[in-house]
Amino acid sequence: MKKLFLLFFALCPLITFGQTATEAQKDEALGAAIKFCSLLPQFSNGGVTYLSNDRKIFELCSTPKISTFDDINSQKEVMLNSYLALITKKYKNHLRMTFSAPIITESYAIPSFETTTGFISQLGDIGNVGTVLNKVGSTDIYIVIEVKQNIPALRKETIRQIIYSTGEKKIISFSNRNSPYVSFCKALDAYDKQKYSESLSLCNKALAGERFDKKGASSVVALMDKLQLASFHDISQYTMHIGEWKEPVECLFNCLDALNTDNYSSSIELMKKLITYKWAQEVKADFQALLASLYACGLGGEKDQTKALYWYRAAVKNGSASAGYLMMLDNMSDNLDIEDGELRNALQLSADKGYIPSYYLIALFDANEGRQEQEGLWYKKGAEQGDLMGMIYYGCWLSAIKHNKQQALFWLRKAANDPNLATYLANRQLTKQGMKTAEDIKQLVYKVEHDIAIPAPVPVGNENAQQASSSTISTTTSSTSSTTYTPTTSSTSSHSRYKTKVHRDFNCPDDEQGVFGFSVGYVQKQWAVKEEGETNKMGYWDDTKHLSGIQAGFRVEPLFKYGFGIDTGLYYEYYHSKSKPISYDGIEFEPTQNEHSLYLPVHLEYRLNFSKEFQLFFYGGIGLDYVLSAKLKTNHEDLSYDEDDAYDNASLKKFNTSLEYGGGFRIYGVQVNFTLANGMLNIYKESGAEIKQNKNLMCNLSYMF
């Protein structure tokens, strides 16, 4: 419960910054900086125009009292008019200085904020509706311009930063790199990147500037950092700069501190006080809902359902997003004067305001009232908004109700593969569902993949919520009752209640097997020549029995139910053969053949799944071969074939179909295949003979993934 309350006050880092200045604004800022860097040396170097130059310098600035630093003698922060007076008094207007060309280095948008309530989910946790500071616009843009200031007489060279405000159209700071304005901008940037300790340090640095006029805004950022760091003490240095919000914010931090230390009696009193301040209506309503839940749970004193109902009704009336959901969880229906439909209407308000945990309770109402389509829409809404349980419920609903396997697997796998799933399920303090561990979700994925029926998701909350729902929802004994979750209640076990024995079809693997793989191997092929009733087996050359080659490609091996599957893929084959020396017209030579082919098997497979580590399999089917290229060459420059295409030379067709059979085994992802192929087609183009192409050995090693 404490975690819920602390989450309520969490502030989401929804602020974004960056190089937001337009080109026109940059040109405007650069022009002011160039003019400033021209007038200041004129003033410092003396001459009859220096009195008018100081006026021109001040006209470029927001005030003659903008912050600067006395780099002449010290690092002490002084005002610009004092800086010019020092030059006049000590150096009699004869201190020569020069500036490098001004360069724009960065720009920062200074945001304006709006306090609202919104759904918060951190690190896969339960999430809640909380106070959120949203960036709703920019009050100003600060453009940072760097110049190098050189004072030869003092042997000083300093990098200066000129800060130009596009809102004021003035220079607001001329200083070294310790400018409080730059520290403030960097603090905003660090907060945006969730570097809260760094942001707080930079805010403190900015607030140390005596003439820094953004202390209120810097204090707000510092307080946001403190909230994110769960540091609820030492805030007076910040609240002193936020005017009328000083007392409400201090009360808020004190309440957080009390909740953090389990001092619920003090929390109740402080929360009562919080409600009296002029917060936005929905923020105040959420405070009222939390106060109601404290009373309903008996935290901080005796359980008081009457007071809880009073504050819940006030919260709902003022538009609290969390009130309806918490009313359901806190069992606000027993022995209380609650009108028919009041809980449903309050819960509907939570859902309409985007309170994601309420979606599944609304779906529960719809499921028990026979509105299955509306039930599914609530699950879908949660899933699409990134809620992990919404993904799980929607996946189960799609499988059990819609029988849409593809979409069901999409959402269930998305939930199962989320890195925050285990934390999310472990920290769900408000919805004790039958599925409590990541393994439970993986079992759902497995069942849907293998066409094992899973129940439709009618979520069950904690005991209070279950009683509340059973007392407010008229549960029918329709056909839908057979498709709902009915997990058994465990005692003190920390294991999931979703512990039904996993059913697997006969001869299905224990785990998902690799379907795709890379394959390499050795292959032999030969031609069976049938002529005048006799059959001879040979390679391409009369003195050889076969051709040897290598085979490489992609294996595709989808498995279905009961051990059956398909073995297919696409392979490239390369053959090289050489004849023994041949004599022609007294010239001896050794011809060679180089062949490139494609091979496509289509086999029906039966696999014996002994375990996820070891399987045996057998298959049979057809194989398709096509010769891409087959070249004949001689090793004598004076001899060549009339047809250098080996197949045309032998009057052979390049396409072949074979009847194939084989088997093999797999150990983890490593697979070995042995295949034989007998040609089915006569590939001889001429009459008088029949030639069929066989592969008397294919041996492959594959890695499946």
Residue 656, H or E segment: strand 655-667
Assess contact for 310 and 288: CB atoms under 8 A: no
- The pLDDT of residue 600 is above 50: yes
Q: What is the mean pLDDT of residues 38-51?
A: 76
DSSP 418: -
Q: What is the mean pLDDT of residues 258-282?
A: 85
User: Is the same domain home to 294 and 330?
Assistant: yes
Q: Which domain holds residue 426?
A: 356-503
User: Is the same domain home to 531 and 663?
Assistant: yes
Q: pLDDT at position 12, please?
A: 37
Helix locations, 276-332, DSSP H: 281-297, 305-317, 323-329
Q: pLDDT at position 17, please?
A: 42
Percent of the chain topping pLDDT 70: 81
User: Is the same domain home to 535 and 557?
Assistant: yes
Q: pLDDT at position 242, please?
A: 85
User: Is the same domain home to 580 and 648?
Assistant: yes
User: Is the same domain home to 551 and 658?
Assistant: yes
Q: Please write the tens of the pLDDT for every residue from 114-156.
A: 555 444 443 333 344 444 555 555 678 889 999 999 988 888 8
User: Is the same domain home to 279 and 151?
Assistant: no
Of the three residues 305, 324, 354, the one that is the final residue of a domain is 354
User: Is the same domain home to 334 and 408?
Assistant: no
- CATH at residue 669: 2.40.160
Q: pLDDT at position 434, please?
A: 56
Helix locations, 229-303, DSSP H: 236-239, 246-260, 264-275, 281-297
- CATH at residue 56: 3.10.450.50
Q: pLDDT at position 464, please?
A: 38
Q: pLDDT at position 146, please?
A: 93
Tokens 């490098």 -> residue = 100
- What's the pTM? 0.53
Q: Amino acid identity of 326?
A: L
User: Is the same domain home to 363 and 430?
Assistant: yes
Q: pLDDT at position 335, please?
A: 66
In a domain, 125, yes or no: no
Assess contact for 623 and 599: CB atoms under 8 A: yes
- The pLDDT of residue 348 is above 80: yes
Residue 518, H or E segment: strand 516-531
User: Is the same domain home to 601 and 635?
Assistant: yes
Q: What is the mean pLDDT of residues 188-215?
A: 86
Of the three residues 354, 384, 400, the one that is the final residue of a domain is 354
Please give the tally of structural domains in the chain: 4
677 pLDDT band, cuts 50/70/90, is very high
Query: Cα–Cα–Cα angle for 268, 273, 274, nearest 5°?
Result: 95
- The pLDDT of residue 690 is above 70: yes
> What are the CA-CA distances from residue 445 to residues 116, 305, 438, 477, 596 (Å)?
38, 42, 11, 29, 43
Q: pLDDT at position 481, please?
A: 29
- The pLDDT of residue 475 is above 50: no
Q: What is the mean pLDDT of residues 425-436?
A: 56
Of the three residues 178, 204, 230, the one that is the final residue of a domain is 178
User: Is the same domain home to 425 and 453?
Assistant: yes
In a domain, 610, yes or no: yes
503 pLDDT band, cuts 50/70/90, is very low
Q: Please write the tens of the pLDDT for every residue from 229-257.
A: 888 889 999 999 888 888 988 998 898 88
In a domain, 386, yes or no: yes
Q: How far is 41 from 96, CA to CA, in rounded Å?
A: 7
In a domain, 487, yes or no: yes
In a domain, 497, yes or no: yes
Q: What is the mean pLDDT of residues 323-339?
A: 74
Q: pLDDT at position 93, please?
A: 64
- The pLDDT of residue 487 is above 90: no
User: Is the same domain home to 600 and 623?
Assistant: yes
In a domain, 282, yes or no: yes
Paired tokens of 593: 């053949």
Assess contact for 189 and 178: CB atoms under 8 A: no
Handedness of CA 119, 305, 330, 465 (dihedral sign): negative
In a domain, 227, yes or no: no
In a domain, 47, yes or no: yes
User: Is the same domain home to 316 and 407?
Assistant: no
